[in-house]
Structure 1
Amino acid sequence: MPTAVVSTQGAFTVLRFGRLAAMGVVAALILIAGVWASWSSAQYVMLTKGRESGTIEVTGCGADTCTGPYTPISAGSQARERVVIENSAAVADGETYTVVMKPGSSEVVRSGPAGILYSWVPLGGALLLASVVVAGGLGRTWAAWVMAGSGFALITAAFLVI
């Protein structure tokens, strides 16, 4: 009889460890995906040294992008008749925005506090999603509340600044 009890406890321990490992991997993958999605535009906004910066006056918007002339601010930057910016809640037709050029393209991203916060919104969503996994799958409610609060604060700050 003692071997059956030990075997059951061992199986329970292995299953519990497997669940924790799987949920930890899922939470980590969600957070990595959020950082990856955010960094695709955040790198241009946060690491501006040596990059062309200027302003864009949005003259027209399509379904996915807006266009307008680019006026340089930084030394060595060249004026362009038409650059492209993502059409989002952060861009309105007829407005002027400070932007940073993506190297080797005609695309620009918003700069300044609004651009930084907006570029990190995918991480905020990932924090919210991962908090559910951390609370339910890992049983770490305090850590989940911290993650959810951070994600909510990031998204709210981006919404208020934009």
Structure 2
Amino acid sequence: MPAPALSSRQASVAVLRFGRFAAMGAVAVLILIAGVWASWGTAQHVMLTKGRERGTVEVARCGQDTCSGPYAPLSEGSQPRARVVLEKSVAVERGRTYTVVMKPGSDEAVRSGPAGVLYAWVPLGGALLLASVVVAGGLLRTRAAWVLGLSGVALLTAAFVTV
């Protein structure tokens, strides 16, 4: 009689282990998808510049969340504008000139070049760090967690240094 109880116990442990693995794997994947989704809104404009308006913005004034200034075109077909809006961040200073890509159909500009690309992917860097904790604690995969965590740190550090 003890043999069937032992195999039933082993089966329930295996089911619980699989359930934990599936749940934590799903959480880690959702975190990474959310990081890519949050980054792609800006990154697509910076990375896929073919056919987009490219130019420079000299920041004239900054508000609470945005900075603005005149736009000087660098690409063919782009028109100069008296005022475009640039998201305010720690790296945007009044009086400096930045290379930008215009979002289609708006007066919003996004920083271009290596600094713009790395800054656009900052949400993914945070997601990598968060997912590494889930992978280490929930999935017990320490090597994968270290890879995720160090990738997030590298991305965030590179963005901080270049911006």
TM-score higher than 0.5 here? yes
| Matched residue SS, 1:13 | helix
Give matches, 1:102-141, under 5 Å.
Answer: 102-141=103-142
| Matched residue SS, 2:109 | strand
| Matched residue SS, 2:72 | strand
Q: Which amino acid aligns with 2:142?
A: T
Deviations 1:50-69 (A, max 9, x none): 00000000011111111100
TM-score between both structures, scaled by the size of structure 2: 0.98
Q: Give the superposition deviation at 1:2.
A: 1.5
Give matches, 1:1-162, under 5 Å.
Answer: 1-162=2-163
Q: Which amino acid aligns with 1:29?
A: L
Q: Which amino acid aligns with 2:41?
A: S
| Matched residue SS, 2:17 | helix
Unaligned stretches of 5+ in structure 1?
Answer: none
Q: Which amino acid aligns with 2:42?
A: S
Deviations 1:94-124 (A, max 9, x none): 1100000000000000000000000001000
> In structure 2, what is the Cα distance between the partners aligned to 1:150 and 1:156?
10
| Matched residue SS, 1:75 | coil
> In structure 2, what is the Cα distance between the partners aligned to 1:150 and 1:82?
37
TM-score between both structures, scaled by the size of structure 1: 0.99
**Cα RMSD, aligned residues only:** 0.6
> In structure 2, what is the Cα distance between the partners aligned to 1:144 and 1:6?
33
Q: Which amino acid aligns with 2:8?
A: S
